[in-house]
């Protein structure tokens, strides 16, 4: 990338794999898992977090020299809350059905630990452009896990992707269902999200031994 | 009876961690030792028990459409509900600051062991989630809101206590290396959540779930499945979605 120096592109690429916010830093799991039963909801959630984190990082970074450190948490919360209200209103205006499905989880972006974590760890100490890249990178790393989990849960749970039936019709018995394949309804239940993330962590750490923890 | 029912429901059936995944960050990070887990769990119960009723009052007398009518008839049209996120989080941040001061004063050892996680209660999704669910489920009275706050807190406490106990013991087991630490914790939590799902029939007698919840979430699917409703597959699918709807908990 000619536009970005090596150091800058590292900001974006690192959180995608070896420093992933969900599987390595253990941040932002709270509002993530409950909405991954459908791929569409996962994608919308990922985009919302991307917007909030990138813009929020820039705002905090611009204000970093004038925020008194004692009240910084409240300042950060107000910035996130304002951004989340905007996202929520946009969602309500343009895709009401989806905002009903996401219900309170849009509001819970406010308390998404990734956002506060990045504000604290990065935006308070770096310039706006680098903070913006950092925000994009981390939100993308978060979105990546969300989309992977959403993909598997929707595919195996209801045999659809983005609401389109990709494995054939379960009622008419076409496609895979003609061979006796059954949807695994269990994948739609919330506990499976945790187990799928556990599997992702397993795969990731088997490939990169350096990430293995000792208990 | 109503209070007891909501109390049990918020502890077991709608458990913060196992049914809605709220407060996972601190749940995963502070659950390495039982003693710290107990401290954080107690703090969460305390903060939830205060913030949920407070936010209920705010919601009832300030934020809901028409809530300002006590100021005079001309305010009846006002709808400030878009401000609820910011109001709720402000209440929570203030209360957490208060709890931090109290804990630092009366139990310095607990304060030290909780470390960074005490201020992080402010951004614990369980706390804000408690208030937001209180709002979206339209809990009717202040008493019920208090019961809901305490119940959800106890549910969270129970969850973190049990995972901390399991993690203390699992140190002696031979877990595959890549799963150690975080991975196995996720999977155990998943299994515990499956266990907690068995509480689902506790208060309904195991028969039927309320109908309208399912309608609010999946109207699209319903239209698809109604023509062949006698088909067993379709019914199974609906059944799954019903459970899903219950997990996501969307109320109009």
More confident residue, A210 or B205: A210
Based on DSSP, count helices (H) and strands (E) in chain B, helices before strands.
Answer: 13, 0
Q: Which of residues 117-156 of A touch B (CB under 8 A)?
A: none
Q: Which one of A4-18, A65-79, A134-148, B110-124 scores highest in mean pLDDT?
A: A134-148
Residues, chain B: 252
CA distance B100 to B112: 11
Amino acid B114: pLDDT: 62
* DSSP code of residue A189: S
Contact B182 A85 (CB under 8 A): no
pLDDT of residue B119: 67
ipTM: 0.78
DSSP states of A20-75: -TTTTS--S-TTTGGGTTSHHHHHHHHHHHHHHHHHHHHHHHHHTTTS-GGGHHHH
Angle between helices B125-136 and B34-58 (to 10 degrees): 40
Nearest CA among A210, A45, A76, A206 for reference residue A140: A45
Return the higher-pLDDT residue of B184 and B240: B184
Q: Are A112 and A45 in contact (CB under 8 A)?
A: no
Contacts of B197 in chain A (CB under 8 A): 189, 191
Q: Closest to A198 (Cβ–Cβ): which among B23, B183, B194?
A: B183
In total, chain A counts a number of residues equal to: 215
Nearest Cα neighbor of B250 from A83, A41, A211 is A41
Residue A144 has pLDDT above 50, yes or no: yes
Q: H-helix or E-strand containing B248?
A: helix B232-248
List C-alpha distances in Å: B159 to B27, B41, B99.
8, 9, 22
Percent pLDDT > 70 in chain B is 76
pLDDT at residue B229 in the model: 44
| Chain B residue numbers touching A206 (CB-CB < 8 A) | 178
Q: Which residue from B minimizes the CA distance to A104?
A: B132
Are the beta carbons of B250 and A100 closer than 8 angstroms?
yes
* Binding-face residues of A in 45-64 toward B, CB within 8 A: none
pLDDT digits (tens, 9 = 90+) for B202-235: 766 545 555 444 444 444 444 444 444 444 455 5
DSSP state of A17: T
Task: Assess contact for A30 and A112: CB atoms under 8 A.
Answer: yes
Cα separation of B123 and A88, whole Å?
Answer: 19
A21 Cα to chain B: minimum distance (Å): 11
- Integer angstrom CA distances of residue B13 from B20, B117, B143: 10, 27, 20
Q: CB distance A34–B20 less than 8 Å?
A: yes
Separation CA B154–CA B52 (nearest Å): 14
**Residue B18 · residue B188 · CB < 8 Å:** no
Distance from the Cα of residue A1 to its chain's centroid: 25
Contact between chains at B190 and A171 (C-beta distance less than 8 A): no
Tell me the pLDDT of chain B averaged across its residues. Answer: 75
User: With an 8 Å Cβ cutoff, are B178 and A206 in contact?
Assistant: yes
Question: Which residue of A lies nearest to B177 if distances are taken between CA atoms?
Answer: A212
Q: Label residue B77 by pLDDT band (50, 70, 90).
A: confident
Considering only the beta carbons, identify the residue of B22, B24, B86 that sits closest to A78: B86
Q: For chain A, how far is it from start to end, CA to CA, in angstroms?
A: 39
Query: In percent, how much of chain A has pLDDT > 70?
Result: 87
**CA A166 from chain center: how many Å?**
24
Spatial distance between the Cα atoms of A19 and A28, rounded to a whole number of angstroms: 13
């Amino acid at each position: 990338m000619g536009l970005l120096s090596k150091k800058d592109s590292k900001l974006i690429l690192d959180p995608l794999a070896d420093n992933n916010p969900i599987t390595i830093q253990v941040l932002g799991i709270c509002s993530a898992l409950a909405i991954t039963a459908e791929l569409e909801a996962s994608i919308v959630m990922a985009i919302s977090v991307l917007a909030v984190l990138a813009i929020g990082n820039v705002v905090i970074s611009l204000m970093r020299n004038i925020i008194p450190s004692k009240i910084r948490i409240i300042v950060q919360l107000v910035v996130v809350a304002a951004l989340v209200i905007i996202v929520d209103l946009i969602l309500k205006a343009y895709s009401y059905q989806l905002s009903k499905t996401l219900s309170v989880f849009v509001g819970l972006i406010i308390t998404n630990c990734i956002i506060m974590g990045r504000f604290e760890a990065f935006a308070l100490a770096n310039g706006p452009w680098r903070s913006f890249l950092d925000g994009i990178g981390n939100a993308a790393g978060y979105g990546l896990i969300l989309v992977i989990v959403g993909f598997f849960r929707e595919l195996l749970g209801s045999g659809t992707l983005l609401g389109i039936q990709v494995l054939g019709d379960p009622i008419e018995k076409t496609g895979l269902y003609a061979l006796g394949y059954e949807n695994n309804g269990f994948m739609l239940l919330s506990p499976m999200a945790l187990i799928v993330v556990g599997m992702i962590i397993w795969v990731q750490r088997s490939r990169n031994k350096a990430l293995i923890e000792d208990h | 009876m109503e209070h007891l029912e909501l109390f049990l429901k918020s502890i077991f059936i709608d458990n913060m961690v196992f049914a809605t995944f709220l407060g996972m960050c601190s749940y995963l990070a502070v659950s390495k030792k039982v003693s710290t887990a107990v401290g954080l769990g107690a703090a969460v119960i305390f903060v939830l028990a205060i913030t949920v009723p407070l936010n209920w009052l705010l919601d009832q007398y300030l934020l809901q459409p028409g809530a300002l009518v006590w100021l005079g008839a001309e305010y009846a049209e006002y709808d400030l509900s878009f401000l609820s996120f910011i109001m709720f989080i402000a209440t929570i941040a203030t209360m957490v600051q208060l709890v931090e001061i109290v804990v630092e004063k009366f139990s310095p050892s607990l304060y030290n062991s909780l470390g960074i996680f005490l201020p992080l209660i402010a951004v614990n999704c369980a706390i804000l989630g408690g208030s937001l669910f209180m709002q979206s489920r339209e809990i009717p009275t202040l008493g019920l809101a208090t019961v809901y706050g305490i119940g959800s807190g106890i549910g969270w406490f129970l969850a973190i206590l049990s995972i901390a106990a399991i993690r203390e013991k699992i140190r002696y087991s031979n877990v595959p290396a890549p799963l150690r630490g975080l991975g196995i914790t996720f999977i155990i939590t998943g299994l515990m959540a499956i266990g907690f799902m068995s509480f689902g029939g506790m208060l309904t007698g195991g028969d039927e779930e309320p109908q309208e919840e399912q309608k609010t979430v999946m109207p699209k699917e319903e239209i698809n499945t109604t023509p062949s409703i006698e088909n067993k597959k379709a019914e199974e699918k609906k059944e799954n979605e019903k459970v899903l709807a219950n997990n996501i908990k969307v109320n109009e």
